[in-house]
Structure 1
Amino acid sequence: MSTVHRSHAKVALIFGGLACLAMLLRLFAGGAVGLADNGDGHRLICQLGLRPAPMPDGVPGWAYANPYYEEFTWYGEACSAGGTGEPYLSTQALLLLGAKALTPLLGSEAALDLRALGILCALIFGVAIAVNFMVMPFAVWLRGVVVIGMALVVLDSTIATYFISPLSEPAGLLGTLFLIAALFRMLRGRRTTVGAILLVAFAALWCIADKTQTASYLVGTLLALFLRPAHFPWAGHWVQRLRDAGEDAAGQKGPVRPSRLGAVLRRGPAALISVGLLAVTVQFQGMQARHLGEIYTFHQLFVEILPNSPTPRQDLADLGLDPNWERYSGKNILTAPLVWSPEYEQMLHLRTADLVSFHLNHPDRLAGLADRGMVGLTRTRASYLGNYLADSGAGPYAKECRVCLVQPLLTFMRPIRWFVFPPLVFGAAVFGAVTVFRRRSPLAARAGAAVVVVFAASTVVQFWAVMVTDGSNDLDKHMIFTLYGLTLMGPLLVATVLTSLGIGSEPGASSQMAALPRQKKASAPASSWFGSGRNSNAWFVRSRR
């Protein structure tokens, strides 16, 4: 490791250590804070053989965070998604297992103390910040600005309180930070390696397997995987041998086309890994409990479509359902008597695809759907879930605000949401795309722009994934990943703009294509396709021609 890299590693450790310490202080200084369980935590926690410790008499379950869990044996459908007997799958289960192993070290008498999960998440958060600092292709000072911005997003009360909760979100929230680092590792050079592509795919898969709605990460990740060709140091030798064989056999270059072999080798790994990532995502979605899809279709119809429809009876008829179901409009799956009626069998034939098709056939309602989504986004936090423990002295449903930057900002933006969110996201996506494909953009700017495009695409898909599944039901909680992607885009976009202006690029990487001579295709040596020499970027010149 060079002296410069050792120096960067030391600074990265400092930033990571400070981030971890800041998270521990904001979670525990003055008493632990977290997020109450809205009932979704049970389907994950029960699979670990646990149940929540009893709350004090007369205390509502959603009013306070309860970090204590005790051993319990569940049987049959009592531990499943919605009592269906089907398991609930999430990468968060691995973090909960780690927290369970750490619990005895805290001296807690509980079988699982979610405060141990908070400590574990703080440690992982610190590692994520340090890794991001190391791999970013920016000047040291700009790396510091970006990771501080990212840290403030995660430390905010809208995000950090999930780290002491039984809900599944923490795995995806932390995994997103590692996905950013993996993307920078893959995109920081003119070429990449198969290992770097695999890291991106693994980080994306971790996030995708956290919740059904985080499948939106697939879209941005697939876009990114093809932005850099894979580098094979050994391939230049074999391509040259193929060229020589062609010359010997024909007296000139003809039947052997090493350029085609090079194209396959460069883009083949990304194609294969993309197919694998897509297949695993589809498989994971198919393995999730069917009851989740049932909940989504019920809420989309009775909480989203019918209450906001000028013709609810006609809408029900168009979907092949009883128009008299209009009386259940506005009720969720827990409160609607329809669920216990024999008529409910009709609902089981309704699919999310049918409801998406319904929205597409009523484009005049999409603006209202988007508007309700943006209003829910600006609320930032579930109002019905408390953050304090029952013995803290705080009132029921009280919200902590130790680091509160996002909520007041988005509350201010609510009246002007149409002038903020669509221009911000689509403007960032367009600017990023132009920068990525602009030949003379600094390499650091192109890497940052690619990450911005990934998150812009994933954020838009995530927004609509929420709106066409659970819809307006529990919208302020379900928009958490949309909010997260939107706020993380902020520091990344700032860094991209600065580096595109030539400010803050890593020394030696400020310009990429300005000095490249245009070469004739036949004169390029084989090493220019795969090697690390002076002509190693000739593939880009050819592709542009």
Structure 2
Amino acid sequence: MIRKKNMIPLITVSAAAVLLMLSLFIKPLIGLADNGDFYRIMHSVGIKYINNGESHYERYFGFTHVLYSLAFPNGVHYWTTEVPIVYASIWLNRLLFSNNTFDIRFLSLVYSLFYLAALYLLIRQNRHLPARYYFVFAIIYVIIFTDIGYSSYFNSFFGEPVSYVFLLLTWFISFHIVSQKMPSHWLLPLFWLSGLMLFGAKTQNVPIAIALGLMSLLFIRLRKDKLWRSLAIAGALVPIILGALILLSTPQDLRVINTYQTVFYGVLKNSPSPEQDLQQLGVNPDLAVLAGTNYFTKKTAISPDSPQLIKPFYSRITYSKIAWFYIQHPYRFLLKLQATAQHAADIRPLYLGNYVKSEHLPYGSVAHFSSLWSSMKKSILPHRLVFYFIFFMVYFAGAGAVWRSSPDSRRKIEASVYVLWGAAAILTFVIPVLGDGEADLSKHLFLFNVFFDLMLLSIVKWIIEAFSQQKENHAAQD
């Protein structure tokens, strides 16, 4: 029985590998079309579209691309932990395929290897569950995390797959550290590195560094030797310092876009009094003519990149002003969170096509292979803020039950780690509307979806553990 149980992670991860192979590597390949964001990474690492004469219609939104041309890197314009991942895939491509042409499947291969390793470790971490539950639990892991809504990002230059695989790995490492009676010193640097890859993947991920720093402080209590304590204290400071550096290195053009959308497509969108809102933000109320527009809206009253907006608007708006505005208008903030909730179960942006043009499918065709979980989330879950409030309350109550379940300090640290991950999940729910308004919420809530799924599986695991413990207690009494 023990041997069969030990085979469960290998069997289920092998099934996940087959699903990835069928969807990402064998025609018809499934990927994700460019919405204009690919340029930041492609320009930095020296990747270009092969066909310079390709129309906007062919290049963006509707169709994916598999082959690109390799050129000289132009220097990192946008600092992100996606860059080393793409460089690794370019190295593999040059080694095994071509020095001039880049096949995006090599990037997908790198992501797939990280993902399969994370999936194996996460499934194996639950091997304490009774065998019959363990096998079903492992299958659920595969169905959820190998969903095409997640894996289609692997064949793209978006930053989401970096966030995805390293959230799974960092989640595993955090609980692995707590589970060890005498955790190895190398686990802490590994935790930092994985965490850096997570919060460094996208600017909106940076606040997660705070939760990781607090986790590192919790780990101090796991060992008493000086080296461990020094590493844990350093681990509390390093993520926050690196996170601040990442924010400071955000390109100016990206700051401008986000600022515009946070105000005009966030604060002012559906506002009953846009002129008054702008006055409260310290901005000329005449700019209310831009209310409800995003940076890429065509034919606006004033062009978003116009010099008219630099001093009167961009130089006056700060995120602290926006946060203070919402503090003063909590009902308006709740309305924005409700708008967020309407997209919170969207694992993938359905406005982006999944297939190459040569497949002769309609423009923007979306793949349905291995999409059970993403389809269920979109069609079954209530798209209401109150639902997510209840979900978080249940999750935190479960973490509280873990805290109370044992006097062991290690168990209490584990419960605290669950709470910090829950707090990080709340940040990923709130930050998109604060940092980019209501623009592209389906994509900006990608990481929240991963958090939601990990938290949901944690709740299921706690229920199984409680049920199994109850059965053991009854058996002992009999």
1:360 pairs, out of 309, 327, 332, with 327
What SS is found at the alignment partner of 2:240?
helix
* Pair 1:145–1:436, CA change in 2 (3 A): farther
Matches within 5 A, 1:487-526: 487-503=453-469
Equivalents in 1 of 2:182, 2:415: separation in Å? 16
Q: Which runs of 5 or more structure 2 residues have no equivalent in the other structure? A: 474-478
The aligned residue for residue 318 of structure 2 is 351
Give the Cα separation in 1 of the matches to 2:121 and 2:134: 11
The equivalent residue for 1:256 is: none
Q: Distance in 1 between matches of 2:380 and 2:408?
A: 32
* Residue of structure 1 aligned with 2:340, choices 367, 370, 373: 373
Alignment pair present for 1:341 and 2:306? yes
| Unaligned segments of structure 1, at least 5 residues | 81-86, 236-263, 511-545
Larger radius of gyration: 1
**Corresponding letter in the other structure for 2:295:** I
Partner of 1:306: 268
After TM superposition, the structure 1 stretch with the greater mean CA deviation from structure 2, 195-204 or 273-282, is 195-204
Q: Residues 110 and 31 from structure 1, CA distance in 2 versus in 1: closer, same or farther, beyond 3 angstroms?
A: farther
Structure 1 residue 51 corresponds to structure 2 residue 13: no
Superposed displacement of residue 441, structure 1: 7.9
User: What is aligned with 2:476?
Assistant: none
**Inter-partner Cα distance in structure 2 for 1:187 and 1:151:** 24
CA displacement 1:374-432 (0-9 Å, x = unmatched): 11223433232111011112111111011123333233346552442211123202321
Partner of 2:143: 152
Are residue 111 (structure 1) and residue 112 (structure 2) matched?
no
CA distance in 2, matches of 1:461, 1:397: 31
**Other-structure match for 1:120:** 110
Match of 1:184 among 175, 195, 211: 175
1:404 pairs with 2:351:
no
Offset from partner CA, 1:19-45 (integer Å, 9 cap, x none): 323221232344111001111111111
Aligned partner of 1:243 in structure 2 is none
Task: Return the alpha-carbon distance in structure 2 between the equivalents of residues 449 and 150 of structure 1.
Answer: 21
Per-residue CA deviations over 1:81-121 (Å, capped at 9, x if unaligned) read: xxxxxx20111112211222232566468621112222222
The answer to whether the Cα contact below 8 Å between 1:156 and 1:403 also exists between their aligned partners in 2 is yes
SS of the residue 1:210 aligns to:
coil
Distance (Å, rounded) in 2 between the aligned partners of 1:228 and 1:326: 50
- Write out aligned runs for 1:58-137 (5 A): 59=58, 61-72=60-71, 87-104=77-94, 107=97, 111-136=101-126
Instruction: Tell me how far apart the structure 1 counterparts of residues 215 and 470 of structure 2 sit (CA, whole Å).
Output: 23
Match of 1:220 in 2: 211
> SS at 1:220's partner residue?
helix
* Alignment-mate amino acid for residue 330 of structure 2: P
Distance 1:495 1:409 in 2: 20
1:32 partner letter:
L
Contact 1:20 1:123 in 2 (8 A): no
Secondary structure (helix, strand or coil) at the match of 1:469 reads helix
Could you tell me the TM-score, scaled by structure 2's length? 0.87
Query: Given the superposition, is the C-alpha separation of residues 12 and 140 from structure 1 closer, same or farther in structure 2, using an over 3 Å criterion?
Result: farther
CA distance in structure 2 between the partners assigned to 1:38 and 1:401 by the alignment: 20
**AA of the residue aligned to 2:335:** G
Write the letter of the residue equivalent to 1:400: A
Per-residue Cα deviation, 1:503-545 (whole angstroms, up to 9, x for no partner): 599x9xx9xxxxxxxxxxxxxxxxxxxxxxxxxxxxxxxxxxx
Give the Å deviation of 1:454: 3.5
Partner of 2:187: 196
Task: Note if contact 1:70-1:112 (Cα within 8 Å) is conserved in structure 2.
Answer: yes
Q: Which residue of 1 aligns with 2:32?
A: 35
Distance in 2 (alpha carbons) for counterparts of 1:183 and 1:145 = 24
The partner residue of 2:198 within 196, 200, 207 is 207
Aligned CA RMSD, in angstroms, stands at: 3.2
The answer for the alignment partner of 2:163 in structure 1 is: 172
Distance 1:124 1:433 in 2: 32
Shift of 1:447: 7.6
Find 1:455's aligned residue among 421, 433, 437: 421
Letter in 1 for 2:82: Q
SS of structure 2 residue aligned to 1:468: helix
Provide the C-alpha distance between the structure 2 equivalents of 1:40 and 1:179, rounded to a whole number of angstroms: 26
- Residue in structure 2 matched with residue 392 of structure 1 by the alignment: 359
